[in-house]
Amino acid sequence: MRKSDLSDNELVTEFISGNESSLEILLNRHQRKIFTSILLLVRDRELAEDLFQETFIKVINTLRSGNYHEEGKFLPWVSRIAHNLVIDYFRRQKKMPMVRDTDEFSIIGNIRLTDENIEDKIVTDQIHHDVRRLIDLLPDEQREVVIMRHFADMSFKEIAEQTNVSINTSLGRMRYALINLRKLIKERELVLVK
């Protein structure tokens, strides 16, 4: 069996036993979902990079200290750590997130592009950017459910528990979020396919 075929739990066990490469696989497997959820919450790429690093430093320390007991639920656990760090950050700042419109340039700047795929990459990045902007426009409670369900892999039952509402409320928020996204696309006449 290849190491990349191991489950999250098996990789966690290996990492705790001292196998450093297991962490790299876990990171590769979940980095996009965790980073995107942080970015959607803070709306600032530089800050999201800092909080992403902080999240994994906490993950590493917690795993090594033997305090990880979330069998089979690695991604939701990491996402909760990230979410709490975001809340802590805004508590310290005592302000709501500000939008710094810088991320599209850093995305493109971080990718080495060849002449053949440059146009394709730019179009893809623009679609990703537009979708994130649309999610940004959702009311906070709807955006939170979208992030938790899509990028933290939490069930609606888990989302309801985490946000202290009933399952029906979290389902209703998701329904309105999805309907609102469709409305926003129509209003703005966005084309979000290549």
Least distance (Å) from another protein to the CB of residue 145? Answer: 10
Q: Is the dihedral of CA 165, 171, 176, 182 positive or negative?
A: positive
* 29: number of Cβ within 10 Å: 14
Token readout for 185 is 């696309």
* Contact with another protein (CB under 8 A) among 14, 33, 76, 144: 33
Q: Which is nearer to another protein, 68 or 156 (CB)?
A: 156
Assess contact for 33 and 153: CB atoms under 8 A: yes
Which residue spans within 11-152 are E strands per DSSP? none
**How many CB atoms sit inside 10 A of residue 183's CB?**
10
Q: Work out whether 56 is an interface residue with another protein (CB under 8 A).
A: yes
Q: Which residue from 6, 122, 127, 165 is in contact with another protein, where contact means CB under 8 A? A: 127
Question: Count of residues for the chain?
Answer: 194
Which parts of this chain interact with another protein (CB under 8 A)?
Answer: 18, 20, 23-24, 27, 31-33, 35-36, 39-40, 48-49, 52-53, 56-57, 60-61, 64, 103, 106-107, 110, 127-128, 131-132, 134-135, 146, 149-151, 155-156, 168, 171-172, 174-175, 177-179, 181-182, 185, 192
